[in-house]
Amino acid sequence: MRRPIPAPVIAACAEVISQRETHASLDNLFMYAGAPGDPPEGSKWVKSQEWIRRINLDESVQPLQVLGRLIEAYMEEEPPSGSPFDDFPPAKETPEQQKILKALARYDLQYVRGGLITGTLGTPTRALEDFIKERDIPALDQEFTRALANVDQNPREAVSAASNILESVCKVYIAERGLEMPAKLDLKPIWTVVRKDLGFDPGAVEDQDLQVILTGLFAVVDGIGALRTHASSAHGAGKKQYKLEPRHARLAIHSAHTVTLFILESWARRSR
């Protein structure tokens, strides 16, 4: 899905670019990023804004990909470390990074290291990020980033990452709980170990509505694992070709996100 750059994001990025670049370096930057056409006339700010707007109008390019390359150098900079005598801890981002990140966040977009701009999974993602940091599971963060980065351009790869998300959290859970790892390390057998240990048994839940939801959760995990096997980039394609679209990949990612958060929340409750 081709997604245009929102106007406030254009304004924020144009401001940063025009403040940091000369006319010559600005031209080189836009040409390197793949922006279409010759340099527009006007001041550096006018030129930057007009050139980014052009990116939206050119159907031959993906606007967010070009924008990611434009801002990569600014977003990859390390913020000043500060003095040991400062009263406040050093900032996590530079003021320029904060300006761009704030504009992106308004439209559920995020910058990912390597010059990528992807969508986010919304508010629940912050809760998941906290659990990932608490449990120190960097593989989860890497797979979510891979999934979101590929969802529009390579949905098969995104589906593969969605399944890997669930496999990663299950393997970490089994290892940290000291459980016996199954002989086959596919999603279904390791998920079976985890759900049994956490007591995910619809028959043990009195509330009938929760029973239905929990049963559906099992079907979601089975579906993601099957989709990875039959339609993702993890395996060669057979005679039947799945016509995966970004919306299908996004459904798998959001579903994996929900199951992963439920596992981590249940694990935290058990720990307490």
Asked whether 20 and 44 are in contact (CB, 8 A), the reply is no
121-271: CATH topology: Four Helix Bundle (Hemerythrin (Met), subunit A) (1.20.120)
Is the CB of residue 159 less than 8 Å from the CB of residue 187?
Answer: no
| Rounded Cα–Cα distance for residues 171 and 194 (Å) | 9
pLDDT of residue 123: 46
Q: What is the pLDDT of residues 179-203, one digit of tens each?
A: 999 998 889 999 999 999 998 888 7
Q: How far apart are CA 167 and CA 50, in angstroms?
A: 45
Side-chain-facing half-sphere of 184: CA atoms under 13 Å: 6
* pLDDT, tens digit, 9 for 90 and up, residues 131-170: 666 666 777 777 777 887 788 778 888 888 888 889 989 9
Ranges of each domain in the chain: 7-116, 121-271
3 state DSSP class of 237? coil
Residue closest to 191 by CA, chosen among 169, 176, 158, 215: 169
Say whether pLDDT at 234 is over 90.
Answer: no
The DSSP output letter for 153 is T
Longest dimension (CA), the chain: 70
Between the alpha carbon of residue 159 and those of residues 114, 153, 171, 232, the distances in Å are 21, 12, 19, 6
Higher pLDDT, residue 235 or 34: 34
User: 29-42: string of b/e by CB count within 10 Å (b at 16+)?
Assistant: bbeebebeeebeee
Flag whether the pTM goes above 0.75. no
Which residues touch 240 (CB under 8 Å, ≥6 apart)? 230
Q: What is the DSSP letter of 91?
A: P
* pLDDT of 19 strictly over 90: yes
**Which is nearest to 259 in space by CA: 163, 177, 189?**
163
Q: Other C-beta atoms within 10 Å of 266: how many?
A: 17
State how far Cα 62 lies from the chain centre. 18
